[in-house]
């Protein structure tokens, strides 16, 4: 089982890269997020790897960080989500965005990923609802929390009514409330959220 590769990036193509480790070239499937994080060939790079062994093939999936790899593992536990769909989801949504999408049950945000239709989105949201909060959001990023009702919920609703996606609004408002505190004025939280989303 291969868990990590450190070697020279020989090529980066759509959906995959070739990494030379000691003269052996490994083809590694990866999300666009991981591929864009790789240095330009022929620089050295390190990727975390999930190995999938089947009767007809051994496939390597690469990740820039452990948060993305952990989400890949979790996503592939959902019926109907294979490795290809999981990588498509991770290309469309970062681990932080995924937590926000699942916390707010944002079906539209999930269907932005190629291969994820409304039915599959509902299945992912329902099966991962209880697990998403414990998942990593990525390096140095706190996971958003969305309690029912109250300041955060009202502020998120206001931003959604202004045209922002629920998952984006939830992440931004979560950060703002953490900075200003739960006693903050609703108008101040909404204004700060608009500034955050406008960056």
pTM: 0.70
Is it the case that residue 147 has pLDDT exceeding 50? no
Across the chain, the runs of DSSP E, i.e. the strands, are: 4-13, 16-21, 24-30, 44-53, 58-63
Convert the pLDDT of each residue in 99-113 to its tens digit: 888 888 888 888 989
Angle in degrees, CA 51, 92, 189, rounded to 5: 125
Report pLDDT for 38.
Answer: 92
* Domains by residue range for the chain, with CATH: 4-63 (2.40.50.140), 66-134 (1.10.150.20), 150-198 (1.10.8)
Convert the pLDDT of each residue in 42-57 to its tens digit. 899 999 999 998 889 8
């Amino acid at each position: 089982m291969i868990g990590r590769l450190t070697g020279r990036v020989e090529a980066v193509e759509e959906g995959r890269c070739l990494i030379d480790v000691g003269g052996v070239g490994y083809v590694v499937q990866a999300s666009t997020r991981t591929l864009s994080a790789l240095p330009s060939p022929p620089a050295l790079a390190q990727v975390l790897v999930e190995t999938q062994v089947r009767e007809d093939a051994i496939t390597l999936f690469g990740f820039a960080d452990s948060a993305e790899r952990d989400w890949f593992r979790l996503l592939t536990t959902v019926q109907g989500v294979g490795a290809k769909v999981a990588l498509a989801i991770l290309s469309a949504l970062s681990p932080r965005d995924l937590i926000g999408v699942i916390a707010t049950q944002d079906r539209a945000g999930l269907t932005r990923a190629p291969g994820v239709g409304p039915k599959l989105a509902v299945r992912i949201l329902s099966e991962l609802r209880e697990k998403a909060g414990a998942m990593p959001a990525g390096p140095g990023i706190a996971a958003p929390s969305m309690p029912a009702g109250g300041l955060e919920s009202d502020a998120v609703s206001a931003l959604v009514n202004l045209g922002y996606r629920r998952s984006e609004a939830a992440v931004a408002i979560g950060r703002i409330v953490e900075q200003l505190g739960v006693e903050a004025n609703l108008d101040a939280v909404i204004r700060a959220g608009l500034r955050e989303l406008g960056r």
